[in-house]
Amino acid sequence: MSGTFVGMPAFPRAAREAVRDATLRGNLRHATHTIRAKRAKAVAEVSDWAQLREAGKQIKDHTLRHLDHYLVQLEESVTAAGGTVHWAADAAEANRIVTGLVKETGESEVVKVKSMATQEIELNEALEAAGIRAYETDLAELIVQLGKDRPSHILVPAIHRNRGEIRDIFAREMSGWGRPAPEGLTDTPAELAEAARLHLREKFLRAKVGISGANFMVAETGTLVVVESEGNGRMCLTLPETLISVVGIEKIIPTWQDLEVFLQTLPRSSTAERMNPYTSTWTGTADEDGPRAFHLVLLDNGRTDTLADEVGRQALRCIRCSACLNVCPVYERAGGHAYGSVYPGPIGAILSPQLRGTASEIDASLPYASSLCGACYEVCPVAIDIPEVLVHLRERIVEGGQVVRGGNKVVLQPAKGHAAERAAMRAARWAFSHPGALRTGQRLASRTRRLHPRTLPGPGRAWSGTRDLPAVPAEPFRDWWQRTHGKGGPALPRTTPGAGTPAKDSAADKAEDKGGDR
Amino acid sequence: MSSRERILGRVRRALADVPRGDETPPAPERPGRYPPYERAVTRDYLREHGDRTPAQTLDLLAGNLADYRAVVHRTDAGHLVEVVAGLLVSRGSSSVLVPPGLDESWLAGSDVRRIADRAENTPHELDRVDSVVTACAVAVAETGTIVLDGSPDQGRRRITLVPDHHICVVRAAQVVPSVPYALERLDPARPLTWISGPSATSDIELDRVEGVHGPRVMEVVLVD
């Protein structure tokens, strides 16, 4: 398996392979069901969850509406506190800045706190190309890095691995990166955690450069916040002499007080805890405590393009808790890799195609990686209406239209693969506005129903490949209605008939709208 | 054009559909005082969950700390010295890190070798120390959290990170009910560490295991 997402197949193909992997499905089912129940309990403990969720949504929306203002304010406050602020319009620029900063220190290795932003820009690969070795220090990231694997979950990137697989990876790979795994390592989680502790400790103690992301940046104070569990974050944030944080511009919150909302909602949504074991906050540099140099790299990389979409911009409220992954029936079965992005699951399905655009096969297929059941919206601590954005993105892919890419307005052509869908919709529109033709067609369909194939021919095959065709009834609803209720049957309240349209057709159409024909 | 100007320009163009103007609040004078912004967000969530007496708040803190596997010892000011000494003995510690401003009387009952928290200490030296004793800035009952802010009685962040055994003394007056109260008491300019139980991970099958990189044993001495 490759370490990057380049050239990923479209979601349906990747998912089809994933669902055949019984081990993967077992691992995912176990993990997601464990966390679902715990999250529900942690959320039920606070009676004002709905109010906290609404406040979180409002804070993020307000910030996004005034993002330029808060970015400038943040830059001022971080600089005043002794930090240096850099701006990166895209991944390449961010990688260039970070690589340059590491080189300036003269070091050839760095320790990293788990960070979605640095995964997104593939910083490790860029550092490696410059001769700098990046050590991932989060346990799950370590498992992914040692296993030459890809992350499959926002919070627990190695969720697709069970304890036995992790034991094997540690025993096989640790020696190539530093201290080998202890002899006779078993698969108990405590022993695996101990092996990671021993392996990483020598790296923490000698590290001169740390690289992190951040969960929040407070504009008014210039404070950065990292929420974590293991203590690897604290190690990377306090022991090195130089700290470089790469943070997406949407991670800003206006005030220190705003943390009171997110420090209550994030841990409960994420690991289902009242509070995560460690939260670190720092404001620039502190005298003789922690790094002497602090660099903040503010990352755009598609975020302003996302901000330009009136419906899609709500995805920028995301605080990366991963609750939506854990409840998603599609994620539970397909796993994270099928989404072809560091952002898998429901949030990934709306974030990746907006950050990267929909030019690639995988990105154009992501808005369809959902049954639109809405469980993700229900659990989201900042109330992102993921189904709404999914439908919006589907429409944009099928119909085309104006979007912003790289800061420029471009017009998307309707996607080629959806020609049959568009044709079908056009035909349906015509049929529903011509009742006579519809009736004839329905009768014909009923009479020939024994001859119908199980799958559609031609371009329709892709659609029917993953769906059962609806069974056609022996008698169309209208005929049944005419026979049982028509002449002399019970009277129905009738709407005013349109000019030239028989009243009985109008009533029948109404019944059909309610799905009475199924 | 610099990337700074490019990004800010893109943000402004992206927000062209949003009504602007008066709504943009001015920079705040200081944390917590920001009337135009305060009106922009409905804060009808609770300041704390439930109605508790100070004694009940202490009980809740002790319960929540223990729930996340911190070891809680309750005592009074008169017995603090022997409790701390006893913890160092039962741990079998031969050395203890001491922040510069720690109340010296707390360690008066112990003859364990003391190591001062100094800027020159290397991480490797800290790794050879068995325990660390600190005070705290604030403790949060609802979440079972201790907050350190680097004050002289708490020391540099790394001294409570590298040693495997952390003894933290919490006085009743430092205990607040909830996260909103804690933030109000804390100074964002200081480097803060919020600690809720010992180091843990949920990375193996999303199940919590205690003990990774931070101190694996967290003992809280609650003084009332």
Can you tell me the distance from the alpha carbon of A351 to that of A344, in angstroms, rounded to the nearest whole number? 9
Residue A278 lies in a domain: yes
**Predicted pLDDT at A504:** 44
Q: Which of A460, A450, A455 is nearest to A423 (CA)?
A: A460
Mean per-residue pLDDT over chain A, rounded = 90
**Predicted pLDDT at A463:** 72
Residue A275 lies in a domain: yes
**Predicted pLDDT at A471:** 83
Give the mean pLDDT of A126-153: 95
Give the mean pLDDT of A20-46: 93
Name the pairing type of β-strands A209-212 and A242-248.
parallel
Percent of chain B past pLDDT 70, that is, above it, reads: 92
* Interaxial angle between packed helices A435-447 and A419-432, expressed in degrees from 0 to 180 and rounded to the nearest 10: 110
From its phi and psi, is residue A139 left (phi > 0), alpha (psi between -120 and 50) or beta?
alpha
With CA atoms as reference, the chain A residue closest to B29 would be A220
Give the mean pLDDT of A420-437: 85
Residue A366 lies in a domain: no
Residue A121 lies in a domain: yes
CB distance A237 to A113 below 8 Å: yes
**What does DSSP assign to residue A468?**
P
CB distance A212 to A243 below 8 Å: yes
**Predicted pLDDT at A446:** 87
Answer yes or no: do B213 and A234 touch at CB < 8 A. Answer: yes
Q: Give the list of residues 6+ apart from residue A344 with CB closer than 8 angstroms, or none.
A: A152, A153, A154, A325, A331, A335, A336, A337, A338
Q: Are residues A104 and A252 in the same domain?
A: yes
Answer yes or no: do B45 and A204 touch at CB < 8 A. Answer: no
- Is A88 in the B-facing interface, judged by CB distances under 8 Å? yes
| Enclosing domain of residue A444 | 418-513
CB distance A511 to A486 below 8 Å: no
Give the mean pLDDT of B61-85: 97
Answer yes or no: do A238 and B158 touch at CB < 8 A. Answer: yes
Domains (ranges, CATH) in chain B?
3-40 (no CATH), 54-223 (3.40.50.10420)
**Predicted pLDDT at A422:** 78
- Best of B6, B12, B204, B218 to substitute, by most chain A Cβ atoms within 10 angstroms, is B204
**Predicted pLDDT at B25:** 57
Answer yes or no: do A286 and B193 touch at CB < 8 A. Answer: no
- Tens of pLDDT, residue by residue over A167-220, are 999 999 999 999 999 999 999 999 999 999 999 999 999 999 999 999 999 999
Q: Residue type at B107?
A: L
For residue A321 the two structure tokens come to 């808790």
With beta carbons under 8 A apart, name residues in chain B contacting A200: 213
Can you tell me the distance from the alpha carbon of B196 to that of B198, in angstroms, rounded to the nearest whole number? 7
Q: Which of A166, A168, A191, A159 is nearest to A34 (CA)?
A: A159
**Predicted pLDDT at A510:** 42
> What CATH number does residue A222 fall under?
3.40.50.10420
CB distance A141 to A207 below 8 Å: no
Q: Residue type at A293?
A: A
Q: Are residues A152 and A17 in the same domain?
A: yes
**Predicted pLDDT at A2:** 38
Cα distance from A122 to chain B (closest Cα, Å)?
A: 20
Can you tell me the distance from the alpha carbon of B200 to that of B206, in angstroms, rounded to the nearest whole number? 11
**Predicted pLDDT at A467:** 76
With CA atoms as reference, the chain A residue closest to B118 would be A288
Confidence of residue A499 (pLDDT cuts 50, 70, 90): very low
With CA atoms as reference, the chain B residue closest to A192 would be B204
Looking at A299, A332, A348, the residue that finishes a domain is A299
Give the mean pLDDT of B16-32: 62
**Predicted pLDDT at A148:** 94
With beta carbons under 8 A apart, name residues in chain B contacting A230: 199-201, 203, 212-214
Cα distance from B112 to chain A (closest Cα, Å)?
A: 25
Q: Are residues A431 and A288 in the same domain?
A: no
- Tens of pLDDT, residue by residue over B99-131, are 999 999 999 999 999 999 999 999 999 999 999
Can you tell me the distance from the alpha carbon of B136 to that of B106, in angstroms, rounded to the nearest whole number? 14
CB distance A167 to A185 below 8 Å: yes
- Is A67 in the B-facing interface, judged by CB distances under 8 Å? yes
Give the mean pLDDT of B142-166: 97
Can you tell me the distance from the alpha carbon of A81 to that of A211, in angstroms, rounded to the nearest whole number? 19
Residue with tokens 């081990």: A23
Residue A251 lies in a domain: yes
* Interaxial angle between packed helices A67-80 and A49-65, expressed in degrees from 0 to 180 and rounded to the nearest 10: 90
**Predicted pLDDT at B30:** 58
Confidence of residue A456 (pLDDT cuts 50, 70, 90): confident
**Whole-number CA gyration radius for chain B:** 22
Residue A352 lies in a domain: no
Task: Nearest by CB to B12, from A68, A200, A290: name it.
Answer: A68
With beta carbons under 8 A apart, name residues in chain A contacting B19: none
- Best of B1, B10, B190 to substitute, by most chain A Cβ atoms within 10 angstroms, is B10
Answer yes or no: do B206 and A158 touch at CB < 8 A. Answer: no
- Is A292 in the B-facing interface, judged by CB distances under 8 Å? no
Residue A246 lies in a domain: yes
For residue A487 the two structure tokens come to 């002449």
Confidence of residue B13 (pLDDT cuts 50, 70, 90): very high
Q: Which of A391-400, A432-441, B190-199 has the weakest average pLDDT?
A: A432-441
**What does DSSP assign to residue B213?**
S
- Best of B203, B209, B218 to substitute, by most chain A Cβ atoms within 10 angstroms, is B203
With beta carbons under 8 A apart, name residues in chain A contacting B191: 238, 280-283, 286, 289-290
Q: Are residues A86 and A225 in the same domain?
A: yes
Looking at A241, A273, A299, the residue that finishes a domain is A299
Looking at A252, A272, A299, the residue that finishes a domain is A299
State the DSSP string of A147-211.
Answer: TT----SSS-TTTT--HHHHHHHHHHHHHHHSSPPPTT--S-HHHHHHHHHHHHHHHHHH--EEE
A280 membership: H or E segment, kind and range: strand A278-283
Question: Rounded to an integer, what is the distance from CA A424 to the centroid of its chain?
Answer: 31
List beta partners, residue A72.
Answer: none
Percent of chain A past pLDDT 90, that is, above it, reads: 74
**Predicted pLDDT at A74:** 96
**Predicted pLDDT at A416:** 74
Residue A498 lies in a domain: yes
pLDDT greater than 70 at residue A3:
no
Give the mean pLDDT of A125-130: 98
Answer yes or no: do B198 and A249 touch at CB < 8 A. Answer: no
Q: Are residues A429 and A288 in the same domain?
A: no
pLDDT greater than 80 at residue A398:
yes
* Interaxial angle between packed helices A386-399 and A345-356, expressed in degrees from 0 to 180 and rounded to the nearest 10: 40
pLDDT greater than 80 at residue A505:
no
Higher pLDDT, A64 or A419: A64
- Tens of pLDDT, residue by residue over B180-224, are 999 999 999 999 999 999 999 988 887 778 888 999 999 999 999
**Predicted pLDDT at A516:** 40
Name the pairing type of β-strands B192-195 and A278-283.
antiparallel
**Predicted pLDDT at B172:** 97
Residues within 8 A of B (CB atoms), A 461-480 only: none
Q: How many helices (H) and strands (E) does chain A have?
A: 24, 12
- Tens of pLDDT, residue by residue over A36-94, are 999 999 999 999 999 999 999 999 999 999 999 999 999 999 999 999 999 999 999 99
- Is A310 in the B-facing interface, judged by CB distances under 8 Å? yes
Higher pLDDT, A490 or A412: A412
Q: In 3-state terms, what secondary structure has residue A107?
A: coil
With CA atoms as reference, the chain B residue closest to A201 would be B213
**Predicted pLDDT at A136:** 96
Q: Which of A5, A117, A10, A3 is nearest to A334 (CA)?
A: A10
**Predicted pLDDT at A506:** 44
Task: Nearest by CB to B3, from A89, A281, A313: name it.
Answer: A89
Q: Which of A388, A366, A413 is nearest to A312 (CA)?
A: A388
- Is B152 in the A-facing interface, judged by CB distances under 8 Å? no
- List phi, psi (to 5°) of A216: -145, 150
Q: How many domains does chain A have?
A: 2
CB count within 10 Å of CB A285 equals 18
- Is B86 in the A-facing interface, judged by CB distances under 8 Å? no
With CA atoms as reference, the chain B residue closest to A304 would be B11
- Tens of pLDDT, residue by residue over A239-272, are 999 999 999 999 999 999 999 999 999 999 999 9
**Predicted pLDDT at A7:** 65
Residues within 8 A of B (CB atoms), A 311-370 only: 313
Answer yes or no: do A62 and B41 touch at CB < 8 A. Answer: yes
Residues in chain A: 518
